[in-house]
Structure 1
Amino acid sequence: MTETQTRAAAFADFVAGERAVLTRVSVCLLAEGLELAQPDGQSVIWRWAELRAEPDQADKDALVISRSGDKVARLYLRDKNVKAQVRTRAPHLKKRDRAISVPKLVTWAGGAAASVAAIIFVLVPMMAAQLAVLLPPEGEKALGDTTFEQIRMALDETGLAGAAICEAPAGNAAMQAMYDRLNPASDLPYDIQIHILDHDMVNAFALPGGRIVFFRGLIEQAENPEEVAAVLAHEIGHVVNRDPTRDALRSAGSLGVLGLLFGDFAGGTIALFLANQLINASYSQSAEAVADDYAHELLDKAGVSPAALGTMFERLLAEHGDAEGIVAHFMSHPQMGERIAAAQAAVVEGQTYGSILEADAWRSLQTVCGGTSAVQSDQDLPDKKPWPGDD
Structure 2
Amino acid sequence: MTGQDVNWVFADLARGERAHLTRVRVAFYPEALIIGMPDGAQITWGWNTLRRVRDQADRRIMVLSHKGDPLTRLYLADHETQEFVTRHARSLGKRDHATPLSKVMLWAGGAVASVAVIIFLLVPLMATQLAEILPPEGEKALGDTTFEQIRVALDETGLGGVRICEDPAGNAAMQTMYARLNPDADLPYEVKIHILDHPMVNAFALPGGRLVFFRGLLEEADNPDEVAAVLAHEIGHVVYRDPTRDALRSAGSLGVLGLLFGDFAGGTVALFIANQLINATYSQAAEARADDYAHDLLEKADISPVALGTFFERLHEEHGDAEGIVAHLASHPQMTDRISAAQAAVDPNRTYGTILDAQSWQNLQTVCSGQADASSNGTSPAKKSWEKPE
TM-score by structure 2 length? 0.77
Q: Give, in whole Å, the separation in 1 of the partners of 2:34 and 2:331.
A: 70
* Matched letter for residue 306 of structure 1: P
Cα shift readout 1:150-199 (whole Å, capped 9, x = no counterpart): 22222223344122111111111111111112122524342211111112
Q: Give, in whole Å, the separation in 2 of the partners of 1:174 and 1:72.
A: 81
- Which residue of the partner structure matches residue 281 of structure 1? 280
**SS of structure 2 residue aligned to 1:306:** coil
- Which residue of the partner structure matches residue 26 of structure 1? 26
Q: Give, in whole Å, the separation in 1 of the partners of 2:166 and 2:237.
A: 25
Q: Give, in whole Å, the separation in 1 of the partners of 2:255 and 2:295.
A: 36
Point out where structure 2 has 5 or more consecutive residues left out of the alignment: 55-61, 373-390
The residue correspondences of 1:1-391 to structure 2 (distance < 5 A) are 26-29=26-29, 33-37=32-36, 43-47=42-46, 50-51=49-50, 67-68=66-67, 69=70, 95-97=94-96, 100-332=99-331, 334-370=333-369
How far residue 352 of structure 1 moved from its aligned partner, in angstroms, is 1.1
Point out where structure 1 has 5 or more consecutive residues left out of the alignment: 1-5, 56-62, 374-391
How far residue 71 of structure 1 moved from its aligned partner, in angstroms, is 11
* Matched letter for residue 182 of structure 2: N
Cα shift readout 1:111-160 (whole Å, capped 9, x = no counterpart): 33222222222222222222222122222222211221222222223344
Q: Give, in whole Å, the separation in 1 of the partners of 2:181 and 2:196.
A: 22
**SS of structure 2 residue aligned to 1:295:** helix
Higher mean displacement: 273-282 or 72-81:
72-81
Q: Give, in whole Å, the separation in 2 of the partners of 1:99 and 1:130.
A: 45
**SS of structure 1 residue aligned to 2:363:** helix
Q: Give, in whole Å, the separation in 1 of the partners of 2:82 and 2:248.
A: 64
Seen in structure 2, the aligned counterparts of structure 1 residues 110 and 30 have a Cα distance that, compared at 3 Å, is same
Higher mean displacement: 257-266 or 65-74:
65-74
**SS of structure 2 residue aligned to 1:223:** coil
**Are 1:205 and 1:235, in contact at CA under 8 Å, matched by a contact in 2?**
yes
* Matched letter for residue 137 of structure 2: E
Seen in structure 2, the aligned counterparts of structure 1 residues 35 and 366 have a Cα distance that, compared at 3 Å, is same
Cα shift readout 1:72-116 (whole Å, capped 9, x = no counterpart): 8677886999878655xxxx7785445644333333333332222
Q: Give, in whole Å, the separation in 2 of the partners of 1:239 and 1:80.
A: 70
* Matched letter for residue 347 of structure 2: V
Q: Give, in whole Å, the separation in 2 of the partners of 1:272 and 1:372.
A: 25
Higher mean displacement: 78-87 or 259-268:
78-87
Q: Give, in whole Å, the separation in 1 of the partners of 2:86 and 2:127.
A: 62
Q: Give, in whole Å, the separation in 2 of the partners of 1:240 and 1:200.
A: 27
**SS of structure 2 residue aligned to 1:186:** helix
**SS of structure 1 residue aligned to 2:288:** helix
How far residue 288 of structure 1 moved from its aligned partner, in angstroms, is 0.9
* Matched letter for residue 27 of structure 2: V
* Matched letter for residue 26 of structure 1: V
How far residue 357 of structure 1 moved from its aligned partner, in angstroms, is 1.5
* Matched letter for residue 196 of structure 1: I
Seen in structure 2, the aligned counterparts of structure 1 residues 16 and 266 have a Cα distance that, compared at 3 Å, is farther
**Are 1:259 and 1:270, in contact at CA under 8 Å, matched by a contact in 2?**
no
Q: Give, in whole Å, the separation in 2 of the partners of 1:24 and 1:215.
A: 80
Q: Give, in whole Å, the separation in 2 of the partners of 1:261 and 1:95.
A: 29
**Are 1:14 and 1:25, in contact at CA under 8 Å, matched by a contact in 2?**
yes
How far residue 314 of structure 1 moved from its aligned partner, in angstroms, is 1.4
**Are 1:65 and 1:77, in contact at CA under 8 Å, matched by a contact in 2?**
no
**SS of structure 1 residue aligned to 2:185:** coil
Seen in structure 2, the aligned counterparts of structure 1 residues 93 and 241 have a Cα distance that, compared at 3 Å, is closer
Seen in structure 2, the aligned counterparts of structure 1 residues 151 and 70 have a Cα distance that, compared at 3 Å, is farther
TM-score by structure 1 length? 0.77
- Which residue of the partner structure matches residue 389 of structure 1? none
Cα shift readout 1:191-232 (whole Å, capped 9, x = no counterpart): 211111112222111111111111112112212211111110
**Are 2:236 and 2:291, in contact at CA under 8 Å, matched by a contact in 1?**
yes
Cα shift readout 1:273-301 (whole Å, capped 9, x = no counterpart): 11111112221111111110111111122
**Are 1:10 and 1:79, in contact at CA under 8 Å, matched by a contact in 2?**
no
Seen in structure 2, the aligned counterparts of structure 1 residues 47 and 154 have a Cα distance that, compared at 3 Å, is same
Seen in structure 2, the aligned counterparts of structure 1 residues 295 and 24 have a Cα distance that, compared at 3 Å, is same
Greater length-normalized contact order (CA 8 Å, ≥ 6 residues apart): 2
How far residue 14 of structure 1 moved from its aligned partner, in angstroms, is 6.6
- Which residue of the partner structure matches residue 387 of structure 1? none
**Are 1:16 and 1:73, in contact at CA under 8 Å, matched by a contact in 2?**
yes
* Matched letter for residue 189 of structure 2: Y
Q: Give, in whole Å, the separation in 2 of the partners of 1:289 and 1:141.
A: 25
Q: Give, in whole Å, the separation in 2 of the partners of 1:129 and 1:180.
A: 29
- Which residue of the partner structure matches residue 59 of structure 2? none
Seen in structure 2, the aligned counterparts of structure 1 residues 341 and 54 have a Cα distance that, compared at 3 Å, is same
